[in-house]
Chains A and B, each alone.
Chain A
Amino acid sequence: QKEVEQNSGPLSVPEGAIASLNCTYSDRGSQSFFWYRQYSGKSPELIMSIYSNGDKEDGRFTAQLNKASQYVSLLIRDSQPSDSATYLCAVNSRGNSGYALNFGKGTSLLVTP
């Protein structure tokens, strides 16, 4: 069973601070890594994808990947109350005959004004 693990939180950070979300995965053959944001009552929204070791920045978001440690993280700079949501880590793992996205159970982020 290919596992994706996240701390469920809630992670509470003050407005303007950096929020750091972490994820570990078990399948060493994984090639693609994604972060989704899900607001309560809504569907997941893709916010970052990363495919190679290192950092990838997009606006206030930075994704970090370390394949040797099987670790993915998401940093949110200058956190805003509108960033309060559940953040899902997803790893594209090879299944029996194709690739499937395995999701962690998500980390709940609360940004307080």
Chain B
Amino acid sequence: KAGVTQTPRYLIKTRGQQVTLSCSPISGHRSVSWYQQTPGQGLQFLFEYFSETQRNKGNFPGRFSGRQFSNSRSEMNVSTLELGDSALYLCASSLGASGPRYNEQFFGPGTRLTVL
């Protein structure tokens, strides 16, 4: 089975711009979660989508948004970029059904975003 894929792998933007990141989950996985990883804060949960609905959300400002399509692919958007948004953005997919074993998450390679 192919793993989780993310595009693009690297991105350079300037303050005030917006950016869209894409994630394709493992075939058969219906849940996609997004995380931000920085050296200081570690891995922080942004949000989770399951069957095209946002099921859970972390403590990030409204500039961070996402969506999920009917084929389970997901996009994340960050508007009005700030210098502090520079980070590795990771998506992870899981089966997503109820029950602990269905929540094993598998990560994609990440998108490295640099905001200048």
Contact = CB atoms under 8 A, between A and B. Distances in A.
A105 to B, nearest CB: 4
Contact of B43 (A32, A45, A98, A103): A103
Contact of A100 (B45, B88, B100, B106): B45
Given A44-B90, A51-B100, A106-B42, A96 B56 contact: yes
A49 B108 contact: no
A62 to B, nearest CB: 18
B48 A46 contact: no
Nearest to A1: B59
B101 A43 contact: no
Contacts of A31: 100
B110 A43 contact: yes
Contact of B103 (A43, A92, A103): A92
A91 to B, nearest CB: 11
Interface residues of A, number: 26
Nearest to A92: B103
A103 B42 contact: yes
B111 to A, nearest CB: 10
B100 A32 contact: yes
Interface of B: 33, 35, 42-45, 48, 50, 55-58, 88, 90, 92, 100-101, 103-110
Given A95-B57, A103-B43, 12 more contacts: A32-B100, A32-B103, A43-B107, A46-B105, A51-B100, A92-B100, A99-B103, A100-B33, A100-B56, A101-B45, A101-B103, A103-B42
